[in-house]
Chain A
Amino acid sequence: MSTQVTAASHAAIGLADADLLSMHRTMLLARLIDEAALRQNRMGRAPFVVPVSGHEGCQIGTAWAMRPGIDVWLPYYRDLGVVLRAGMTTTEVFLGLFSKADDPSSSGRQMPNHWGSKRLGIISHSSPIATQVPHAAGIAYAIVYRGEDAVVACWFGEGATSEGDWHEGLNFAGIHKLPVVFVCENNEYAISVPQAKQMAVHDVATRAEGYGMPGVVVDGNDVIACYAAMKEAHDRARNGDGPTLLECKTYRFLPHTSDDDDKTYRTREEVAEHKHKDPIDRSAAYLIRHGLADHDALQAMHDELKAEVETAIQEAWDAPDPLPETATRHVFAEDER
């Protein structure tokens, strides 16, 4: 059975005012990086961009319940907001976008947005969908085996839930009651295929029953509600009560990637309608309503972040490219060669 989670007051769920401002700031940063990355694409400096716009609420909300430096993160390619919370810097994001030698995820080997950093506990992932789901279960098994306090979170879209690996990962996690939270960012489309052609159920969360874990539906555009639902799932994992499937209902404002044309599969009216539910606007309204910020403060935050993004772009663009002769390195451990 899935349960619905609705927005709570931030104080009631243990979020300090400073947390809320930081969450808003990170959402805004993700949006500004997105916009700047697409400009770099149009300028011919970035062959491939994976937009995040629209997903900031569910990404930052869920990621905020995680503990950087302790917990383990398995994001998918749209999870810019998640990796920012995990500790990746704006400059590092652009080092990846420009496939520079110091790209922390892959030193320019993978496409942008294929995140990974041992230092930050972000597990490297590939392009095939849902392959990281059984990895999450295996890591969670090792955490219990080693008697650690860490929690694993694994993010994916609703399309991923059709893959065999998704089922196999959740099934294993359910059997062993592992400390892992599975977060579905349901944006209604897997590239062009709508949810109705992806599954016969209305909520991905209902699938949780098949794996013996709670399934929770949350408004993915409500960053506070996402935090609250994730916090509960995170607590459940830490307390030894097993995994949770958390479904965040959201929407992708932009095409799947810079190479996609979303006009072929959804109307402009539909997109415009969803933009009225922008998670960043909603967060801003909340901050103002609760007296945590005013328009001027939010504008100042915006301007400051925009400058940070521009500085990061310059720094990353000027960084060295990988050397061609490094292409043959690290096929195997080098001390073995």
Chain B
Amino acid sequence: MTEKNLVTAVRDTLHDEMAADDRLVLLGEDVGARGGVFKISEGFMAEFGERRVIDSPLAESGIVGVAIGMALHGLLPIAEIEFADFIYPAFDQIVSEAARMRYRTDGDFGLPMVIRTPSGGGIHGALYHSQSIEAFFAHVPGLKVVMPSTPADAAGLLRSAIRDPDPVLYLEHKKCYRLIKGDVPDEAFITPIGVADVKRMGSDLTVVTYGYEVHRCLEAAERLSAEEGIEVELVDLRSLAPLDMDTVLASVAKTARAMVVYEDNRTYGAGAEVAATIAEEAMFDLDAPIVRIGGPDIPAMPYATALEHFYMEPEPDHLFVAMRDLARF
């Protein structure tokens, strides 16, 4: 075990995987000499060479499109989109090409490739460095979408993504990058895609979340335990596609109360799918209506501190209060 932050966990895993398999190539803006704007690939170009660590032109569709070609011809590309907010020019390549290649050829072609990108807000990223993009892509059959919240999950899920025979969108929450530290096993362990993780056991209500919100919800849950004696069970989805509803439903069956929390805009967010499935599958287990907490339906996370704070926490202690109210319902 070694304690690492999330950036180091991603970097070390990527490094070891590249050292072990020369089919792996990394391409994206500033991934080479600069080592990536978050230093994920710092030193990689010197160690692995320019053939394997490719400073791409500033063209996101081209980055993903070229990666698709590489995957079609025996390489294992890891395409980095510098910020998730810049992924939209590549939407067509991801949705029309990557996600559909296996289906449209009835299994003849497959695309083993990873698209990594930093997403999420709370870091003064403003309108175009804060976005949550997961719902756009989790909607598309043929894509896997994961978002680790801890350094250990980041390492295990990245290994799974690299070994997966299909395209995986791997989202790294920027607020977690250096803020979240944790023990990471030193061996090359796997965290399976499509398996949620119970990050806190509890009996009074289930909170389903992912990404940075995991940590905000855990903080509220500890306060609830200390101040109110309310025990929250917290399910970290980790994968948004495929979605592990079995773990969610098992928890809801135990607690009879369900809350879904996500940073993305509330309407049509990933939490809507979770809430709908709980309503369909566990209606008679519930003692209270499902509570859904998402970001406000404004086009983006604003820059000014007060405005950004409003996005992340529209009312003081809103997670703590919402959990307490649900437990008392």
Is A286 at the interface (CB under 8 A from chain B)?
no
Interchain CB contact under 8 A, A142 and B74: yes
A124-B96 Cα distance, complex, nearest whole Å: 12
B109 engages A118 (CB within 8 Å): yes
Q: In the assembled complex, how far is the CB of residue B42 from the closest CB belonging to chain A, in whole angstroms?
A: 23
Contact among A116, A139, A165 for B70, CB-based, below 8 A: A139
Cα of A329 to Cα of B141 in the assembled complex, Å: 11
Residue pair B109, A107 in contact (C-beta under 8 Å)? no
The answer to the question of B40 belonging to the interface, with a C-beta cut-off of 8 Å to chain A, is no
Q: Are B107 and A330 in contact (CB under 8 A)?
A: yes
Are B69's CB and A138's CB within 8 A?
Answer: yes
**Most chain B beta-carbon contacts within 10 A, residue among A133, A139, A145, A332:** A332
Check A143 against B73 for contact (C-beta < 8 Å). yes
Chain A interface size band reads: 35 or more
Chain A 136-167 interface 0/1 with B at a Cβ cutoff of 8 Å (1 = within):
11111111011000000000000000001101
Max count, chain B CB within 10 A of own CB: residue among A118, A134, A169, A335:
A134
Q: What is the bound-complex CA distance between A176 and B93, given in angstroms?
A: 21
Q: Return chain A residues, CB-CB under 8 Å to B125.
A: none
Interface residues of B in 81-115 (CB under 8 A from A): 89, 92-93, 96-97, 100-110
The residue among B56, B96, B107 with the most chain A CB atoms within 10 A of its own CB is B107
Cβ of A250 under 8 Å from chain B: no
Which listed residue, B61, B77, B142, touches A168 by the CB 8 Å rule?
Answer: B61
Q: Find residues 299-337 in chain A having any chain B CB closer than 8 Å to their own CB.
A: 326, 329-336
Whether B165 sits at the interface, judged by CB under 8 Å, is yes
In Å, the complex CA distance between A169 and B67 comes to 11
Q: Known contacts A133-B65, A175-B57; decide if A145 and B104 are in contact (CB<8 Å).
A: no
Whether B165 and A333, one on each chain, are in contact in the complex, defined by CB atoms closer than 8 angstroms, is yes
Rounded to whole angstroms, the CA-CA distance of A117 and B106 in the bound complex is 11
**A334 CA to B73 CA, complexed, in Å:** 20
Q: Which of B25, B96, B105 contacts A116 (CB 8 A)?
A: B105
Is there contact, CB below 8 Å, between A114 and B57?
Answer: no
Whether A139 contacts B73 in the complex (CB less than 8 A), given A116-B105, A330-B107, comes out as: yes
Q: Quick check: is A106 within 8 A (CB to CB) of the other chain?
A: yes
Complex: A140 Cα to B74 Cα, angstroms: 11
Q: A128 interface residue, CB < 8 Å from B?
A: yes
Chain A residues near B64 (CB-CB < 8 A): 134
Residue B182 lies at the interface, judged by CB distance under 8 Å to chain A: no
- The residue on B at minimum CB distance from A180 is B69
Q: How far is the CA of A329 from the CA of B106 in the complex (A)?
A: 7
Whole-angstrom distance between the Cβ of B236 and the nearest chain A Cβ: 22
Chain B residue numbers with a CB within 8 Å of A165 are: 61-62, 65, 92-93
Q: Quick one: which of B65, B105, B110, B164 contacts A138, CB cutoff 8 A? A: B65
Query: Is the Cβ of B66 less than 8 Å from the Cβ of A141?
Result: yes
B102 & A110 in contact (Cβ 8 Å cutoff):
no
A171 at the B interface (CB under 8 A): yes
Cβ contact within 8 Å between A331 and B96: no
Q: Are B74 and A169 in contact (CB under 8 A)?
A: no
Question: Given A128-B92, A128-B96, A143-B73, are A168 and B106 neighbors across the interface (CB < 8 Å)?
Answer: no
A135 to chain B, nearest CB (A): 4
**In the assembled complex, B282 has its CB within 8 A of some CB on chain A:** no
The answer to whether the Cβ of B308 comes within 8 Å of any Cβ in the partner chain is no
CB pair A131 B108 closer than 8 Å: no
A123 at interface, CB cutoff 8 A = yes
Q: CA of A141 to CA of B77 in the docked complex: distance in angstroms? A: 11
- Across the interface, do A138 and B67 meet the contact criterion of CB distance under 8 Å? yes
Inter-subunit contact B107/A329 (CB<8 Å): yes
Contact between chains at B73 and A172 (CB < 8 Å): no
**Bound form: Cα–Cα A114–B109 in Å:** 14
Contact across chains for A169 and B62 when beta carbons are under 8 A apart: yes
Give the residues in chain A near B56, CB-CB below 8 Å. Answer: 172
Contact of B92 among A116, A131, A142, A334 (CB under 8 A): A131
Residue of A nearest to B106 (CB): A107
Question: Contact between A124 and B108 (Cβ–Cβ < 8 Å)?
Answer: yes
Q: Do B74 and A146 touch (CB < 8 A)?
A: yes
Q: Write the chain B residue with the least CB distance to A144.
A: B51
Contact of A142 among B61, B75, B101, B144 (CB under 8 A): B75
The verdict on A106 contacting B104 (CB below 8 Å), with A134-B61, A135-B97, A136-B69 known, is yes
Given the complex, which residues of A lie within 8 Å of B108, measured CB to CB?
116-118, 124
> Which chain A residues border B77 with CB–CB below 8 Å?
138
A168 touches B73 (CB 8 A): no
- A116–B165 Cα distance when bound, in Å, is 19
Residues of B within 8 A of A206 (CB): none
Q: B69, A131: Cβ atoms under 8 Å?
A: no
B105 x A105 contact (CB < 8 A): yes
> In the complex the two chains form, is A333's CB within 8 Å of B110's CB?
yes
**Is B322 engaged at the interface, CB distance under 8 Å to the other chain?**
no
A258 interface contact, C-beta 8 A:
no
Q: Does residue A109 face the partner (Cβ distance < 8 Å to B)?
A: yes
The answer to whether A330 touches B73, judged by C-beta atoms less than 8 angstroms apart, is no
Report the Cα distance A142→B66, complex, angstroms: 10
CB-CB under 8 A from A146, the residues of chain B are 73-75
9 residue pairs of the A-B complex, CB under 8 angstroms, read: A110-B104, A118-B109, A135-B68, A139-B69, A139-B73, A142-B69, A145-B25, A146-B75, A332-B142
Q: Which 5 A-B pairs have the closest CB atoms?
A: A138-B69, A134-B65, A168-B62, A142-B73, A107-B106
Q: Which residues of A pack against B, CB within 8 Å?
A: 72, 105-107, 109-110, 114, 116-118, 123-124, 126, 128, 131, 133-143, 145-146, 164-165, 167-169, 171-172, 175, 326, 329-336
B residues with a Cβ closer than 8 A to A are 25, 51, 56-57, 59, 61-62, 64-75, 77, 89, 92-93, 96-97, 100-110, 141-142, 144, 164-166
